[in-house]
Structure 1
Amino acid sequence: MTPSPYIVGVGAANADIHGRSRAAVNLRDSNPGTMRVSVGGVTRNILENAARLGLDARLVSAVGGDVFGRLILARSAAAGMDVSNVLVLPDAASSTYMTVLEPSGEMFVAVSDMSILAQLPEAYLAERVPLLHGAAAIACDPSLPEETILHLLALAGKTPVFVDPVSTAYARKLLPHVGRFHTVKPNRMELSILAEMDAGEDAALKPAIARLLEKGCRRVYVTLGPEGCCYGDDSGLFLRAKLRPIVRMENATGAGDAFTAATIYGHVHALPPEETLNLALAAGSVAIRSAETVSPEMSIPLLRETILRDSL
């Protein structure tokens, strides 16, 4: 009997503190609003979305022995993730991400402390080579130290490694090694850095994607905000897709993680690129409509309903 496929995520698991101002944010002043504490982290969020889509998702990360660490482990397990490979460092502070949101739900500013990831020993990853080699896909967190990313790429063997740069700073860190990733998911600014060319105009998207494919990537998804996304792969296929724009956003911070999870879902189930692209757009749409970073309603049936409702 063939074992069920599973995915592995290596990277951040955070406590997320969200403050949403009731009015336009005033700098250097106290802004009345609402506060909420949840769990997050790029890798952890991708895996929770994937678990809610029905995948067996296994997290490799580090947390502290503090209240945030206990919260991260408890809520991640409750969401259906395997947390048995999370290293607990009793004297360390867990990763924390604090964001201030505009009344619209758009991010105004954020501060993160992910220094605990530097304490994830290379030997800890090396001991998990069988786990990595048996996975259908690996999600790599760009916030990992560069040496850890290189170590993970070396240990992954033939397992496809996915990465979302999440920022221009991390895109610059990934640039020398981007061709070693199976799938990358930049936005337009991150694409410009990774492709080493200006991708600001729509006409430049296809050549920029082609450059990443020339570097060694197999698949490239580029998110374009309200304009949807585009896709290219090493077969020469190039696609562009878009769903009906969302009128009101609740929280835009989790859309990219949901999108990435859906691309991994499509890979694991060998779905056609067009179907994967639409599922990914729908996942981002579901995430934006939720006050939580990961929508508790995330599911494949909901994504298919969203595609039917919002297709143009």
Structure 2
Amino acid sequence: MITEREQEILDLIRQDPLISQQALADRLGVSRSAVAGHIMNLSNKGAIRGKGYILADSPYVVVIGGANMDILGQPCDKLLARDSNPGRVSCSPGGVARNIAENLARLGVDVRLIAPLGKDVYGQTLLEQGLQCGIDMRHCLQLDDAVTSTYLSVLDESGDMSVAINDMQILERLSVEYLRSHADMIRRASLLIVDANLPANVLEYLLSQFPDLPIFADPVSGPKSEKLRGLLDAIHTFKPNLAEAKRLSGVDAKDEGQLPQLASWFHRKGIKRICISLGAQGVYVSEAGRHQLYPPPPIQPVNANGAGDAFLAGLAYGWLAQWSTPRSVNFATAASAVAMSHQATINPNMSLAAVNRLLEETYS
């Protein structure tokens, strides 16, 4: 794995392939011998080839969107409305984009997150936890005068979300100008993933200025999905739930037999692959005239909050591996099952080995 310091050196070399070790040391505020050691390590890792700092091509994913602190409550028994429910309350890093990025990092993918963070306790926690699990957090926007996003959700007794409240005003501070300053890094990515927490003008910029990049998108919610309505032709893979898909399309699919009609509406708008989450019924996937309903693995969910984010991360992993859609969806479904088997939004045991183990148990 490339360390944070080594990544800084690689970024400086990309800007000036003939930069000297002394110049690198001066820019980073370290000794020349320390830089020489990092250069040797990068050569051993295959990130640098030969003289003149010829950089090896290393694929990476850029994820842009929300990063929140999640506060989660679940009752011990049946959830009673308008009453105090004995139960458990936990606090963990969350946010659609950040969750996708962490799942990818835990699967061993080089992933770079762009999200706004306040310079407060929650923001510092998100920054430190992201670095610890392997997310490249250097491109996040850190603000002195804003509060880090917070997402408060209450689950019912079965683990499904009953109600949620989010405070995500800081997302409005992530501007097109800020993203333009990172445009070269975004353009060199193998895949771009966005969520609809982003402001409408930012989504328009991202979905119009990188035509050569495959883009995966998560609509987040029905109201937020409206920001994507006129931009669907730029999206390769779209992952709505059934309610979001019906709201955007106006197609009132009431049973499985009407799902092809629903998917066809999105294909006519330019989307190449659509994965419609059906909850306990699985996921309906349509691509290039091929339609299939994939059932979920037979597990009892502990917390379904992070399932969709893990699913999209699994699809991204399959894209990087150049897998077929059926193989990618099976992998993504297993990743979502691993996510749901833990109380936290992100299962700390998420790994390539854990997903493959579940795949073997399910399909062998």
TM-score bracket relative to the smaller structure: over 0.9
In the alignment, residue 291 of structure 2 is paired with which amino acid? F
In the alignment, residue 50 of structure 1 is paired with which amino acid? L
Q: 1:112 aligns with which of 144, 155, 166?
A: 166
Question: Post-superposition, which runs of at least 4 consecutive aligned residues in structure 1 deviate over 4 A?
Answer: none
Q: Does 1:303 align with 2:348?
A: no
Q: 1:7 aligns with which of 42, 61, 64?
A: 61
Using the TM superposition, give the Cα deviation of residue 304 of structure 1 relative to its aligned residue in structure 2, in angstroms.
2.0
Aligned counterpart, 2:135: 81
Query: Alpha carbons of 1:132 and 1:115: their partners in 2 closer, same or farther (altered >3 Å)?
Result: same
Q: Distance in 2 between matches of 1:300 and 1:250?
A: 20
Q: Does 1:70 align with 2:124?
A: yes
After TM superposition, the structure 1 stretch with the greater mean CA deviation from structure 2, 220-229 or 42-51, is 220-229
Q: Any unmatched runs of 5+ in structure 2?
A: 1-54
Residues 106 and 351, structure 2, Cα contact 8 Å, conserved in 1: yes
Aligned counterpart, 2:266: 212
Q: How many residues align?
A: 310
Largest Rg, 1 or 2? 2
Using the TM superposition, give the Cα deviation of residue 2 of structure 1 relative to its aligned residue in structure 2, in angstroms.
4.3
Q: Does 1:279 align with 2:331?
A: yes
Q: Distance in 2 between matches of 1:311 and 1:227?
A: 18
Aligned counterpart, 1:142: 196
Residues 126 and 155, structure 1, Cα contact 8 Å, conserved in 2: no
Using the TM superposition, give the Cα deviation of residue 309 of structure 1 relative to its aligned residue in structure 2, in angstroms.
1.7
Q: 2:247 aligns with which of 178, 189, 193?
A: 193
Q: Deviations over 1:67-116 (max 9, x none)?
A: 00001101111111000001110111000001112232221211001110
Q: Does 1:130 align with 2:184?
A: yes
Using the TM superposition, give the Cα deviation of residue 261 of structure 1 relative to its aligned residue in structure 2, in angstroms.
0.4
Q: Distance in 1 between matches of 2:56 and 2:271?
A: 29
Q: Does 1:269 align with 2:321?
A: yes
Say which SS state the counterpart of residue 346 (structure 2) adopts. Answer: coil
Q: Any unmatched runs of 5+ in structure 1?
A: none
How much is the aligned-residue C-alpha RMSD, in angstroms?
A: 1.6
Aligned counterpart, 2:108: 54
Q: 1:153 aligns with which of 199, 207, 213?
A: 207
Using the TM superposition, give the Cα deviation of residue 206 of structure 1 relative to its aligned residue in structure 2, in angstroms.
1.4
Aligned counterpart, 2:11: none
In the alignment, residue 86 of structure 2 is paired with which amino acid? P
Query: Alpha carbons of 1:244 and 1:265: their partners in 2 closer, same or farther (altered >3 Å)?
Result: closer
Aligned counterpart, 1:237: 290
Query: Alpha carbons of 1:296 and 1:310: their partners in 2 closer, same or farther (altered >3 Å)?
Result: same
Q: Distance in 1 between matches of 2:191 and 2:297?
A: 30
In the alignment, residue 307 of structure 1 is paired with which amino acid? L
Residues 208 and 234, structure 2, Cα contact 8 Å, conserved in 1: no
Q: Distance in 1 between matches of 2:81 and 2:333?
A: 34
Higher relative contact order (CA 8 A, sep 6+): 1
Q: Distance in 2 between matches of 1:164 and 1:272?
A: 21
Residues 262 and 279, structure 1, Cα contact 8 Å, conserved in 2: yes
Q: 1:33 aligns with which of 87, 94, 98?
A: 87
Say which SS state the counterpart of residue 85 (structure 1) adopts. Answer: coil
Alignment of structure 1 residues 82-101 onto 2, 5 Å: 82-101=136-155
Residues 61 and 86, structure 1, Cα contact 8 Å, conserved in 2: yes
Using the TM superposition, give the Cα deviation of residue 153 of structure 1 relative to its aligned residue in structure 2, in angstroms.
1.3
Query: Kindly, what percent of the aligned residue pairs are identical?
Result: 37
